[in-house]
A = this chain, B = another copy of it.
Amino acid sequence: MTVFDDELQKLKEKLLRMGSLVEDAIKNSVTSLVERDNALAQRVIDNDRLVNTLDVEIDEESIRLIALRQPMASDLRFITMAMKITTDMERMGDLAVNIAERAMELNTEPVLKPYIDIPKMREIAQGMIRDALNAFVKKDKKLAVDVIMRDDKVDDLKHDVLQELAFFMTQDPTTVSRAMRVSFVAQYLERFADHATNIAEMVIYLVEGKIIRHTLPPA
């Protein structure tokens, strides 16, 4: 194993660590909403700086590796994609923070209704980021395609949540401000899944050496 192999391995480990932090963040943010746990919501907000630190570190390390090792072809592709992926993961961390913030606001008011579809969205979205990153470090195209396929399910659930919330607001105007906040949470989760999809698309680019982004029919 060369020094460069070792450095590349460390870069992969950092990416996976960042992914694992983002996974924890989305899980805890939704739990803080469902269980009305302000302390947990605050922890999600505080821990986001760990995600941000890794974002910066991975960028710096990637630029250093390119400048110093002048990697060719597939390694170069891997490192530049890693830099793009951190952008997605950093935003995913922000979305978890947004959910935690809405949770803290919602926790000051009576429960609108038990959350059913939102935890489902969270579960799928969390699996998507885990598998998208694993697909990236293992260059596993099949797993990447599988991640992309799951995005539709998240979109469908979001659609159901928004329909139900519109019904609540129409029936009872006192629910409007709470229902709007819950609708934001559903949208954050949808965007979280979109970022995982973007990462999965980059995996296919990495493996096939060609860009499939924008070539799939719109969902």
Task: Using CB atoms and an 8 Å cutoff, list the residues of chain A in contact with chain B.
Answer: 49, 52-53, 55-56, 59-60, 62-63, 66-67, 70, 72-73, 76-77, 80, 83-84, 87-88, 90, 162, 165-166, 169-171, 173-174, 176-177, 180, 183-184, 187, 198, 211, 213-214
Contact = CB atoms under 8 A, between A and B. Distances in A.
A77 B63 contact: yes
A90 B88 CA distance: 13
Contacts of A169: 169, 173, 176
Contact of A60 (B165, B170, B211): B211
Copies of this protein chain in the complex: 2
Given A56-B213, A162-B180, A180-B162, A73 B80 contact: no
Given A176-B166, A183-B180, A80 B60 contact: no
17 contacts: A55-B213, A56-B213, A56-B214, A59-B80, A62-B80, A63-B76, A63-B77, A63-B80, A66-B76, A67-B73, A87-B88, A166-B176, A166-B177, A166-B180, A169-B173, A170-B174, A183-B183
A121 to B, nearest CB: 17
A192 to B, nearest CB: 13
